[in-house]
Amino acid sequence: MTSPDELDHGVGARLRELRTLRGLSTRTLADLSGVSQPTLSNIENGRTLPSIRYLYALAEALGTGPGALLPPNDNSTQPGGHQLTGEDEEIDNPVHMELLFAASDSPLEAYLIQQAAGYRDPRQFGHPGEDLIHILDGAVTLVFGSKRMWLRHGDTVRLNGAVPHSFTTGPDAGVRALIVTCRLPSIDNSDKSLLV
């Protein structure tokens, strides 16, 4: 497993490498991703990690998946890859995200997400492809476009990742969920339905 310090610098180095490879300035990437230029600079310099929303926004702006921004793992096909607790200027309560699987030759990414009680992301975000979300422990409100769905232990939902979505936990309990993302544009992005 990658140590937190290695991850801070690894994400920043990968981000800078991909940004430079694509010929983008930090200002251009900030504009494309919606991440402020000072935050982008802090991420690239290893002073902070991006939140999940920022990780997805940066990856999408760079034309890749979030797993491509994480440093290489000794064996990315095995569980226990990277732990990412990122920062977001708009969220007080961070999310703990562990990348379980991502490979450059696969459209699949698997994450273990943990959010504490009282977590609320003020902005929804979308990404290409589909998500399969399985609640391992706790409960959460899934905000999907204009819809809200209460999910609790054992519930599984499949959704169009392009439709903006977010999680909100209640004041008394957090949530632990497995999220599998397929980055291929396998469904019509105009389909705003929740695929249960």
The CATH number for 27's domain is 1.10.260.40
The answer to the question of residue 101 being in a domain is no
Query: What mean pLDDT, rounded, does the chain reach?
Result: 79
Q: Please indicate, yes or no, whether the overall pTM of this predicted structure exceeds 0.75.
A: no
Residue 78: what pLDDT? 44
Summarised one tens digit per residue, pLDDT across range 45-88 is 988 888 777 888 898 899 887 778 876 654 444 444 445 545 44
Look at residues 21, 46, 69 and tell me which one is the last residue of a structural domain: 69
Domain tally, the chain: 2
Last residue of a domain, one of 46, 69, 92: 69
Q: Are 117 and 186 contained in the same domain?
A: yes
Q: Same domain for 170 and 117?
A: yes
Q: Tell me what pLDDT residue 104 has.
A: 64
- 86 domain-assigned: no
Quick check: is 54 in a domain? yes
Nearest to 140 by CA among 128, 130, 155, 125: 155
How high is the pLDDT of residue 30? Answer: 96
The answer as to whether 99 is a domain residue is no
Q: Classify each residue of 18-40 as buried b or exposed e, where b means 16 or more C-beta atoms within 10 Å of its C-beta.
A: bbeeeebebeebbebbebeeebb
My answer on whether 114 and 169 are in the same domain is yes
Sequence-distant (≥ 6) Cβ neighbours of residue 193 within 8 angstroms: 160
Backbone angles phi, psi at 58, to 5 degrees: -65, -45
pLDDT higher than 50, residue 2: no
On whether both 65 and 111 belong to a single domain, the answer is: no
Q: What is the CATH number of the domain that holds 123?
A: 2.60.120.10
Q: Which residue has the higher pLDDT, 103 or 154?
A: 154
pLDDT at 135: 97
Residue 83 lies in a domain: no
64 and 111 part of one domain: no
What is the amino acid identity at position 30? A
One-letter amino acid identity for 4? P
Domain membership of residue 117 as a residue range: 107-195
